[in-house]
Chain A
């Protein structure tokens, strides 16, 4: 036990823990921010996993073709939105079940990207590291927050932008009303399914960015296992956060902490069962959900399809 506490202490005083934690948290935050927007509109968008993986793959592809990280990022966004398009049009235009569509998409994207990766074997790279002067010298967390590769910093714009869109614009107001009470929104003259589709496209955009960030800001190359179920952890972060952006980000950080802990404890040479460690983030997620999820109120129309004329 003392041994374990010693390990924990060592982990918390290691800069690498925070650096890894920030990378994991950023990846989750890209995905969770978009998922948060989608869920506020009433869609429980479970194709996040597919959007992340698709975004990562198209980002690599974009770089392979253009040789530019920026264009790679753009391609990642488009890839995420392409998958979002399937989800949005199927579930909120053709009224197919959003879960069935989402599940199918996740499996499809997994297979498709694995196959194409084998066929094309695209080149990849890591983006350049930007050290923000002064701030990056803060002990322990300086490097983690201000010494990352540049795609990381997009998050610093994306988060306030998303908050502003949802809480300060007419589009956001309509989005929230659609998630809470689609009948009322419809009566008020809002195109419910259009707003829902748009919110899914937005999730596709942020997930695509997240996938691209994973490639250029963290891993440096594509494998079909790089997302590894973290799309679902992003969904859990939204629920954990009680459908507020603040809570969602807090959830992303806590879950990322668990992911990072796993790496650090091995990196420091402690001998802990590997399978158990792999399961750790998911155990934390489930525990977090069990403790927090019943205390908060979800958007009232979450995961309920809207068909005009039906109450």
Chain B
């Protein structure tokens, strides 16, 4: 009833392009002292896919939540098809024919697909009608699904499908997709964008794609709005937009570093995106004595240029071009900032390559250099000279053997999982979320007990699931969720810094305030933690600095092994860069780093060796040089390698 009315109105307005489907005018919202949205104007047209681009915290999600009724604006007006509306809850939004595809919040695991789809409807519960409707939508948009499966048993890609079907069931004329690809494999993302395009074309809907991934927005959308710090900073048509300028607008400055690109999800630029100056830069890189002076092509070649399809355009244009190449850019900035040198990989790679013939490590970053026959002296790069070589003959520092563990749902989460790690190497763990990565990090945090199998650190078996045992054995953990298991937000920075090992500040069980403060001040200085002092409550510190506190605490324990689970998730670019560099430095000083991440770019950038997890097993192990998005993606999807 209501729907048809609005639908008709929509169809009518669609004839008149001057009235947008959605017109947001002067929308502002603040949470305490934080301005999430600052006088935002945005217009959505029917039949067009609108990309809403911005970093984490740019205010795009808040803006969309106001459209769907989950957050109320402080000021400003929302007009739907020309009529001003107040949307106080999701029901109002759905009556206005606005639907949202949520990434995390809207499915109930314990219910079946059809029950989830029916949730939020009104009227008599009719399972067969709902199943029928699911069938229709499935056919229309190519989103096949079994209506009677439990949602909790589905893969991320299938859940997304349910989410989309749930949104489309009432034929909304305005659809919002909120960060839809964050848990999908590359192939699943491709599929998603195909059906998304379909959704826009059908019945001329207005569709918003919220994302922080430049690449996907650029490819999938018609119009792009870029937000930064709660404001709209740029609006343009996608055909007129190019990745570098969008990135600039989004970040507010030049984007040059690999970690920034990783944060923005730039990794699949086509050749058409290459402009001539990129090629120039490329040649510049080689010609300009990069090879000659020992910086060689290593990181750049192996890592960025060929490996993952960044090709030239990845590093160049912004970062390494012109001035990047002379001393200034590359030495001081490009390499250091990038952590390529403090990396330890360089050196180990060289050693490995030259001396041990250790293919794995040697290959990783160095493949490029090896191939070009560059025999640059290690000394050139490695001024510190402290980086130990990785030798496979050395006993592994961490050995996990045939580990079997069960998740909270009682299902097997780790299935005969075995892994060896050597001092100084970074092992990347890739995989679609929910394939045992969480349990792996839980086992190494003493949170989960193994049903069978062993964990050995430096030859000594460590009991699993015994509180503190792993930490005492020398395993530091940067947990996946800082708030959930990394920090106590209501305690002070200083207290959080000694949370794992109070011996730094306590004697015989009594905390010595002076020692605590002294230690905290030292850490705050060493790790550049921006806070009002050791006694600042943890919640008053920004996300990036919270992560620094975790880093400071774990690294100050001088662990032999450091487990980093999605260490850069939810951080801004500066913090990502910092965290990444710290991990590299840790590895360079001989710590074995286990990097569990859902960001492939991050894994490809940092790891010496990459393992891919699928259903609790290792689906593939590859040296850095063998890995690219395609091979990883296939492996992640469970395809044999």
- In terms of DSSP, what is the predominant structure of the interface of chain A? helix
Task: Please tell me if B639 contacts chain A, counting CB pairs below 8 Å.
Answer: no
A168 in contact with B125 (CB, 8 Å): yes
Task: Please tell me if B133 contacts chain A, counting CB pairs below 8 Å.
Answer: no
Residues on the B chain within 8 Å of A180, using CB: 108-111
Task: Please tell me if B91 contacts chain A, counting CB pairs below 8 Å.
Answer: yes
- Distance to closest chain A CB from B543 (angstroms): 15
Given A169-B125, A297-B409, also A189-B105 (CB < 8 A) = no
Interface string of B437-474 (1 = CB under 8 A from A): 00000000000000000000000000000000000000
Residues on the A chain within 8 Å of B482, using CB: none
Task: Please tell me if B124 contacts chain A, counting CB pairs below 8 Å.
Answer: yes
B91 in contact with A173 (CB, 8 Å): no
B105 in contact with A176 (CB, 8 Å): no
Task: Please tell me if B131 contacts chain A, counting CB pairs below 8 Å.
Answer: no
Residues on the A chain within 8 Å of B90, using CB: 186-189
Write the chain B residue with the least CB distance to A295. B410
Write the chain B residue with the least CB distance to A183. B105
Residues on the A chain within 8 Å of B70, using CB: 186-187, 309
A170 in contact with B102 (CB, 8 Å): no
Task: Please tell me if A224 contacts chain B, counting CB pairs below 8 Å.
Answer: no
Residues on the A chain within 8 Å of B166, using CB: 188
Task: Please tell me if B118 contacts chain A, counting CB pairs below 8 Å.
Answer: yes
- Distance to closest chain A CB from B114 (angstroms): 10
A170 in contact with B125 (CB, 8 Å): yes
Residues on the A chain within 8 Å of B123, using CB: 170
- In terms of DSSP, what is the predominant structure of the interface of chain B? loop
Task: Please tell me if A181 contacts chain B, counting CB pairs below 8 Å.
Answer: yes
Which residues of chain B from 55 to 108 have a CB within 8 Å of any chain A CB?
68, 70-71, 89-91, 94, 100, 102, 105-108
B108 in contact with A181 (CB, 8 Å): yes
Residues on the B chain within 8 Å of A190, using CB: 119-120
Size category of the B interface is 20 to 34
A189 in contact with B91 (CB, 8 Å): yes
Task: Please tell me if A177 contacts chain B, counting CB pairs below 8 Å.
Answer: yes
Task: Please tell me if B115 contacts chain A, counting CB pairs below 8 Å.
Answer: yes
B125 in contact with A176 (CB, 8 Å): no
Residues on the A chain within 8 Å of B111, using CB: 173, 176-177, 180
Query: How many chain A residues touch the partner (CB < 8 A)?
Result: 21
B409 in contact with A170 (CB, 8 Å): no
Write the chain A residue with the least CB distance to B71. A309
Task: Please tell me if A278 contacts chain B, counting CB pairs below 8 Å.
Answer: no
Task: Please tell me if B121 contacts chain A, counting CB pairs below 8 Å.
Answer: yes
Which residues of chain A from 170 to 201 have a CB within 8 Å of any chain B CB?
170, 173-174, 176-177, 180-181, 183-190
Residues on the B chain within 8 Å of A173, using CB: 111, 115, 118-119, 125
A180 CA / B107 CA spacing, docked (Å): 10
Task: Please tell me if A71 contacts chain B, counting CB pairs below 8 Å.
Answer: no
Interface string of A141-184 (1 = CB under 8 A from B): 00000000000000000000000000011100110110011011
Task: Please tell me if A16 contacts chain B, counting CB pairs below 8 Å.
Answer: no
A188 in contact with B110 (CB, 8 Å): no
Task: Please tell me if A300 contacts chain B, counting CB pairs below 8 Å.
Answer: yes
Residues on the B chain within 8 Å of A170, using CB: 118, 121-125
B109 in contact with A300 (CB, 8 Å): yes
Residues on the B chain within 8 Å of A299, using CB: 110
- Distance to closest chain A CB from B244 (angstroms): 35
B107 in contact with A184 (CB, 8 Å): yes
- Distance to closest chain B CB from A165 (angstroms): 11
Write the chain B residue with the least CB distance to A190. B120
> Taking beta carbons and an 8 Å cutoff, which residues of B are in contact with A?
68, 70-71, 89-91, 94, 100, 102, 105-111, 115, 118-125, 166, 409-410
Using A177-B108, A180-B111 as known contacts, list a sample of 18 further A-B pairs with CB atoms less than 8 Å apart, ordered by residue number in A: A168-B125, A170-B118, A170-B121, A170-B122, A177-B115, A180-B108, A181-B109, A181-B110, A183-B105, A184-B119, A185-B119, A187-B68, A188-B90, A188-B120, A189-B89, A190-B120, A297-B110, A299-B110
Sampled A-B contacts (18; CB under 8 Å)? A170-B118, A170-B125, A173-B111, A174-B119, A176-B108, A177-B108, A181-B107, A181-B109, A181-B110, A183-B105, A184-B105, A186-B70, A188-B106, A189-B94, A189-B120, A297-B110, A297-B409, A300-B109
> Taking beta carbons and an 8 Å cutoff, which residues of A are in contact with B?
168-170, 173-174, 176-177, 180-181, 183-190, 297, 299-300, 309
List of 7 A-B pairs having minimum Cβ-Cβ separation, nearest first: A188-B120, A170-B125, A189-B90, A189-B120, A189-B91, A187-B106, A180-B110
